[in-house]
Amino acid sequence: MSVERRNDGNRFMRVNKSVFKPRYMKMLGVFIAAAVAVIATNATIDSKADAIVGSNAQLTSNGSFSYGGSNQITNRFVVDGQYTAYCSDPIKNAPAPGTYRVEKADTHYNNSGLKAEYSEFQYVMYFGYGGPGFDPSMWPATYYDGSAWTNDKYYAVTHVLIANTMWYNGGYATEGTSTAFKDWVCWEFFGYHWGTNPDSPDTVHNTNTWHSRARAKRDAMGGLGDYPVYQLNTYSGGLQTIVFAPALGKIAVQKKDADTGNNVPKAGFEFRLLKSDRTTEVARKTTDVNGYALFDNVMVGDYYIQETSTPLPYLLNSDLIAVHSSASQTASVSCSDKTPTGRVKVLKLDKSDQHELDGAEFTITSDADVKRVDGSVIYKANQVVDMLTTGTDGTATSKELSIGADGTSTFTVQETKAANGHVLNKDKKKIHFNV
């Protein structure tokens, strides 16, 4: 949706313009089994919020300070000891510390019958100071008076942005501040100078504002999903409305090899993030070339990680892995996968009457190096990997033989001791494993 800003008196406002699956085959009396894996696809993160509306939260203040070249005061509010909060009514009195009911934040109509969309509240809180997307590079190089930024200055300007979003009234949002501050805010954040008419052909516009950068970054992220903005019911009796948004966490997943315990440096493992009900999907993510995936923008709470697809030659591990997301922290889990293996089954028969022979011994050797994804060698070329002796039914089955990182390997089976009363068969049988 395209938008434009108008200055109605001293108001900023916006007007809308427009698995493991066996496969068996027989080759010269030898059976092999292999596995098929599925290649992963990329996915987009969508942050899902668990509503806390209707619960209670604790409001405290870490002192106050003046801003905007004036004696205008704002408090450094905090909710539940960890969430940065703001007053959205600069001209009203601050509420006392205490416990208040949580509500979903809402914007209000101004005198011209216009109000901000909730999506603006989302990105202002997300990219503003204290939000998970706060990035100083999105902000003007210096504060309005040319001084360096400080945390209090970021907080003060975010407070102004929130007040304007809540009430769609720039004069209200910058109440009590200097004209220089008002003009700087209007130009750097809304795109024109204080007191000018943005609809006039003579008005100079700034197309590179904080709002435009924030919207562009939000859109590049694919939106902010269900990112919530809350308010406390502190406005009773004409007091300020306190607005906050919960900090988000991150969950990192490292792919590991089940046999070695080492990290798997391979892209294409896909994982999904599930809520605590083990059913509701929050997001999907695919590993990079280091076997690493990161879920960001995760609401605080309990979750499960589950692998949904794997690249060759790994086998899917569909176990649910419990993990807890904490505010402004990264929780790490690992998921281990096995690589496919195969078995060689030998059936030894008497050539004349086809009856089963016991006691025949066979040696299995690898034709070439069989390697893991990390390059380490499982079997060297010509290495004896197993020795078999047939039983009374004339059969013998090998142990599980690794196929290797490329999903293919070749082994040679040769009789090395004949059954009692029989002549050694020196023929060599080639066994090919393909995934």
Tokens at 216, concatenated:
């562009």
Q: Are 390 and 397 in contact (CB under 8 A)?
A: no
**Each residue's pLDDT tens digit, 38-65:** 222 222 233 344 447 889 999 999 999 9
Q: Which amino acid is at 212?
A: S
State the pLDDT confidence band at 197, using cuts at 50, 70 and 90.
confident
Q: Identify whether the C-beta of residue 324 lies closer than 8 Å to the C-beta of residue 301.
A: yes
- Is residue 180 scored above 90 in pLDDT? yes
* Residue range 376-400, pLDDT digits in tens: 899 999 999 999 999 999 999 999 9
Q: In this model, does residue 15 exceed pLDDT 90? A: no
Please state the domain extents for the chain.
Answer: 23-35+340-434, 50-244, 249-337
pLDDT in tens, 305-356: 999 999 988 999 999 999 999 877 899 999 999 988 999 999 999 989 999 9
Domains 23-35+340-434 and 249-337 share a fold: yes
Alpha carbons 95 and 318: distance in angstroms, whole number: 50
Q: Is residue 84 within 8 Å of residue 129, measured between CB atoms?
A: yes
pLDDT top residue among 172 and 122: 122
Q: CATH: 3.40.50.300, 2.60.40.10, 2.40.40.20, 2.40.50.140. Which one for 23-35+340-434?
A: 2.60.40.10
Cis peptide before 313 (omega within 30 of 0): yes
CA 403 to chain CA mean position, Å: 32
pLDDT band at 209 (very low <50, low <70, confident <90, very high): very high
CATH number of the domain at 249-337, please? 2.60.40.10
Quote the CA–CA distance of 204 and 195 in Å, as a whole number: 12
Interval 129-136 mean pLDDT? 92
Q: What is the per-residue pLDDT for 8?
A: 38
Q: Enumerate residues 6+ apart whose C-beta is below 8 A from 30.
A: 344, 345, 346, 347, 413, 429, 431
Q: Answer yes or no: is pLDDT of 16 > 70.
A: no
pLDDT band of residue 292 (cuts 50, 70, 90) is: very high
Q: Among 199, 219, 433, 215, which Cα is nearest to 339's?
A: 433
Summarize the confidence of residues 348-372 as an average pLDDT: 94
Q: Which of 45-49, 242-246, 287-291, 388-392 has the lowest mean pLDDT?
A: 45-49
Tokens of 365: 């050797």
User: If you average pLDDT over residues 226-254, what whole number do you get?
Assistant: 90
Q: Is the pLDDT of residue 236 over 90?
A: no
Section 242-265 average pLDDT: 91
Write down the pLDDT at residue 30: 32
The confidence score (pLDDT) of residue 382 equals 96
Query: Looking at residues 133-150, what average pLDDT do you find?
Result: 96
Specify the pLDDT at position 70: 93
What local confidence, expressed as pLDDT, does residue 172 receive? 85
> So what's the pLDDT on residue 243?
94
Please report which confidence band the pLDDT of residue 32 belongs to, taking 50, 70 and 90 as the band edges.
Answer: very low
Q: How far apart are CA 39 and CA 384, in angstroms?
A: 32
% of the chain surpassing 70 pLDDT: 88
Is the pLDDT assigned to residue 375 strictly greater than 90?
no
